Amino acid sequence: MDEQARIMQALGGVSLAGHSIQGGMALPPPHGHDGIDDGRKQDIGDILHQIMTITDQSLDEAQAKKHGLNCHRMKPALFSVLCEIKEKTGLSIRGAQEEDPPDPQLMRLDNMLLAEGVSGPEKGGGSAAAAAAAAASGGASDNSIEHSDYRAKLTQIRQIYHTELEKYEQACNEFTTHVMNLLREQSRTRPISPKEIERMVGIIHRKFSSIQMQLKQSTCEAVMILRSRFLDARRKRRNFSKQATEILNEYFYSHLSNPYPSEEAKEELAKKCSITVSQVSNWFGNKRIRYKKNIGKFQEEANLYAAKTAVTAAHAVAAAVQNSQTNSPTTPNSGSSGSFNLPNSGDMFLSMQSLNGDSYQGAQVGANVQSQVDTLRHVISQTAGYSEALGGNTMYSPHGLNANGGWHDTTTPSAVISPTEGPGSVHSDTSN
C-alpha cells in the first residue's frame, strides 16, 4: 500500500481517496523534481509518456514499445493502481446493468413454444398438442391424416427453430470468445478486470438474446398459422364416421321421448364414437332442433332405427331368454294387467348395452331377466308393426314433444312413459 501511495503521489492529479482523477491522467513533466526519489518519478513519467505517445507511432514501433512497457519493472504496480481506479469508477455503470429481470414477453414466447412442443423435449408437446387439437376438431380416425400432417409440419418448424437457435448460440459463443480473447490480450497493456470482461460478455449475450427473441417470435407465428390452418375446427370440419352417427342416432331415437343423455351417457357415447363429450352435446343439440323443425323428414330415419333397435334387442334378449330359461322355469310377464308395461326405450337401450358388455347407468342396467323377457315380447310386437309400416303406415309419432315444441319435462329417460300409443304402434321410443 505504501508503494501505491507513493505512485499516486507521483501521478500528481490522481487521488484514490477523493475519487478524483482531475481531468484524467494529469501527467507531470517527464523530468519533474519535488524532493521525492527523482529516479522513480522519472521512471513513472517515462512510462506514462510512452503510453501517451504510443498511438502516434507506427505499428511496429508501438509493438516494440509495448513489449518494452510489459517488461518494465514498474508495470505491475502501475497496472494494479489503474485497475483499482477503474473498479471504483465502474461501480455505477455495473450497478445499473446487473440482474435484469426476465423479460415477460420472452417468458411468454418460451412458454408457448414449450406448450406447442417446439422447444423442450422432443417426445411430448407437439404430438400431445396435435392430439388434443385433433380430438377437439373431430374423430380420431378421421383426423389421422391431418394429425400426421400437422405433426410433420410442426416437426419441420421445430427443426428449423433448433437449427437457427444452434447457429445463434454458436455465433454468440464464437463472438464472445473472440471478444474475450481480445480483451485478455489488451489486458496485458491496459487495465481490464475480469469483471469488466464478464460485463462485456453479458452485453454480448443480451444482444444475441434479442436476436433469439425475434427467432422465437417468428416461430410462434409459424405455429399459430399452422394451427389455424390444420386444426381450426370450422375450416376442417369432418363428418363423423358412419359408425359414430349410427350410435348417436340409435341413442337419439331410442330415447326420443327424452333425448337428453346424462353426462355419463355422453361420456360413454363419446368414447364409443371416438369423439369428445362436447361434440356429443353439439350433435344432440343439433339433432333435437333439426328433428323438431322437420319431424316428417326424420320419420323414415326414426323408423329405420326403431326397427334396427328392435331387431338387435330381439337377438340380444333371445339370448337372455335362453339364459333365463336355464335359470328359471317360469317366465311371468311384467305384472301389469294385459299390456306390456315396458321400461321406456332408454332402458331398453341401456339393457342392450349391458348385454353387449357395456353399461351406461348401473342402476338401470341392473334390470332382471324378467324385464328382458318382457322387452323381447314387446319388441317382437313392434317388429310386426314395423313390417306393416313398410306398407305405408306411419310408424311413430313425435309424442315426446309437448305443445310448445319442447320435449316432455322428464328427469330421467326411464321416467317417460307414453300411454297414449297402442301396443301395436312402433315408436323408436318403445314406451307404450
Rank residues 405 and 419 by Cβ distance to DNA and give the closer one. 405
In this structure, what is the dihedral angle of CA atoms 150, 155, 161, 162, given to the nearest 10 degrees? 160
Does position 228 bind DNA by CB under 7 A?
no
Does position 233 bind DNA by CB under 7 A?
yes
Cα Rg, the chain, nearest whole Å: 44
Distance CA 328, CA 61 (A): 119
Question: Which one of the spans 25-33, 48-56, 177-185, 280-288 is the region binding DNA (CB under 7 A)?
Answer: 280-288
Does position 149 bind DNA by CB under 7 A?
no
If 0-12 CB within 10 Å is exposed, 13-18 middle and 19+ buried, where does residue 200 land?
middle
**At closest approach, how far in Å is the CB of 272 from DNA?**
15
Distance CA 139, CA 129 (A): 15
Rank residues 405 and 424 by Cβ distance to DNA and give the closer one. 405
Does position 288 bind DNA by CB under 7 A?
yes
Asked if 128 and 268 count as a contact pair (C-beta separation under 8 A), the reply is no
Does position 238 bind DNA by CB under 7 A?
yes
Does position 138 bind DNA by CB under 7 A?
yes
DSSP states of 326-379 as a string? HH-S-----SSSSS-----HHHHHHHHHHHTT--S-HHHHT--HHHHHHHHHHH
Interhelix angle 194-231/104-115, nearest 10 degrees: 50
Rank residues 137 and 364 by Cβ distance to DNA and give the closer one. 137
Does position 282 bind DNA by CB under 7 A?
yes
Rank residues 122 and 232 by Cβ distance to DNA and give the closer one. 232
Does position 407 bind DNA by CB under 7 A?
yes
Does position 362 bind DNA by CB under 7 A?
no
Distance CA 10, CA 73 (A): 16
Does position 281 bind DNA by CB under 7 A?
yes
Question: Which one of the spans 57-65, 78-86, 200-208, 236-244 is the region binding DNA (CB under 7 A)?
Answer: 236-244
**At closest approach, how far in Å is the CB of 264 from DNA?**
12
Rank residues 10 and 265 by Cβ distance to DNA and give the closer one. 265
**At closest approach, how far in Å is the CB of 303 from DNA?**
16
Does position 283 bind DNA by CB under 7 A?
yes
Asked if 248 and 272 count as a contact pair (C-beta separation under 8 A), the reply is no
Does position 289 bind DNA by CB under 7 A?
yes
> What residue ranges in 176-285 does DSSP mark as E strands?
none
- Long-range contacts at 277-285 (CB < 8 A, ≥ 24 apart): 279/138, 279/240, 280/248, 283/240, 283/248, 284/248, 284/252, 284/259, 284/260
Does position 408 bind DNA by CB under 7 A?
no
Rank residues 299 and 383 by Cβ distance to DNA and give the closer one. 299
When binding is defined by CB under 7 A, the residue of 292, 308, 315, 377 that contacts DNA is 292
Rank residues 286 and 328 by Cβ distance to DNA and give the closer one. 286
Q: Give the H/E segment covering residue 68.
A: helix 59-70
Does position 239 bind DNA by CB under 7 A?
yes
Distance CA 305, CA 430 (A): 12
Does position 409 bind DNA by CB under 7 A?
no
When binding is defined by CB under 7 A, the residue of 237, 326, 327, 422 that contacts DNA is 237
Distance CA 77, CA 98 (A): 30
**At closest approach, how far in Å is the CB of 253 from DNA?**
14
Does position 402 bind DNA by CB under 7 A?
no
Residue count at the site for DNA (CB under 7 A)?
Answer: 31
Helix (H) and strand (E) counts in the chain: 16, 0
Residues 175-204 that bind DNA (CB under 7 A): none
Distance CA 86, CA 258 (A): 85
Asked if 376 and 314 count as a contact pair (C-beta separation under 8 A), the reply is yes
- Which residues would be at the binding site for DNA (CB under 7 A)? 137-138, 232-240, 245, 260, 263, 275, 278-279, 281-286, 288-290, 292, 297, 405-407
